[in-house]
Amino acid sequence: MKIAVIGCGALGSYYGALLSRVGHEVWFQLRADHDVVARDGVHISSVRDGDLHARPKCLRVPESAGPVDLVLIGLKTTANAEFARLVPGWVGLQTAVLTLQNGLGNEEALARIVAPEQVLGGLCLVSLNRTAPGRIRHIDRGTILLGEHLGGPTDRTRSLATAFEAAGIPCEVCPDLRQARWRKLVWNIPFNGLGVAGSSGLDSVSRGQWSPGHPLDPALSAKDVLETPAWRTLARELMGETIAIATALGHPIDPAYADAELERTVTMGAYRPSTVIDFEMGRPMELDAIFYEPQRQARRTGTPTPRLDTLCAVLRGLEAAGVRPPSQ
């Protein structure tokens, strides 16, 4: 396949490198990292798989190498306004456009740029960090849950899943992409959210109120949330509210899924989710897609979400103040 990767941070670089390594013609569309990756390729340091190296083809933003078979979107959702500038040059009549982004609304945003039937969504169950240009640290897992934006799985969905599996990427075809997105939010909302908001202190998060000038603590890792009883309780309550929203929308999730996710998180250790890293670096955070849109969906369905509401209030305050937590 000829594949374009748009958004070559940790996520796009990891999956793009694995696909390149097995012989696909993979093009990375790069901005600041272009010269380093063009010269040295992508280096993956994996706890599970050892060190990997791949040499994708490289172009600068917003250049393209013409229509491809597959576009992989690894951008942060804060850059979705760039879709119209970055995506069309890669898309032909038969191109599949797959967003690997977090949260809600990404497929809909792409479907305003390309034909809706060309759009797919993928949920990445993986722990990754970008440590330097072209350098990715793989911590845990790597599965992609793959689904069509319109309707259920097709031959195309299954063919793409087979190609990912052949590249060493575990891939599951999901019959309901929207339910799968909510299942991922069951983890993302508490661990990304409390990781950031936890810097304001337990009292602020419990009350849903943080005032500029109030000193911040370091942001919380997944391990910090799990090992502090009060934070773990809040995480479990947020998971329950997320499941309730999904169920009200017609995408039911077994409540036991929350406890299974808590146990799975133990293997991640002191992992710092992407929103936490963005907060620590003073970069824009993916708050709308991961937190505010789920909150809007809760209000539309009349689902009570007191914990999500207080979390969003603190996140809005931190975002508006433009603050950064102290380093660990």
Catalytic residue list: 184
Q: Taking a C-beta distance cutoff of 8 angstroms, is the pair 32, 11 a contact?
A: no
Alpha-carbon span 84 to 82, nearest angstrom: 6
Task: Give the span between the Cα atoms of 286 and 289, in whole angstroms.
Answer: 6
Report the DSSP beta bridge partners of residue 53.
43
Whether the ω angle into residue 252 lies within 30 degrees of 0, i.e. cis, is no
Q: Of 237, 275, 271, give the one whose Cα is nearest residue 126.
A: 271
Q: What angle do CA 326, 311, 179 make, to 5 degrees?
A: 120
- Pairing between strand 119-132 and 96-99? parallel
d(CA 274, CA 85) in angstroms, rounded, equals: 24
> What is the token pair recorded at 98?
């797959």
Helix pair angle (177-197, 229-248), 10° resolution: 150
Give the single-character DSSP code of 153. -
Location of structure tokens 């670089």? 13
Written as six digits, the tokens of 166 are: 């052949």
Nearest Cα neighbor of 274 from 219, 199, 205 is: 219
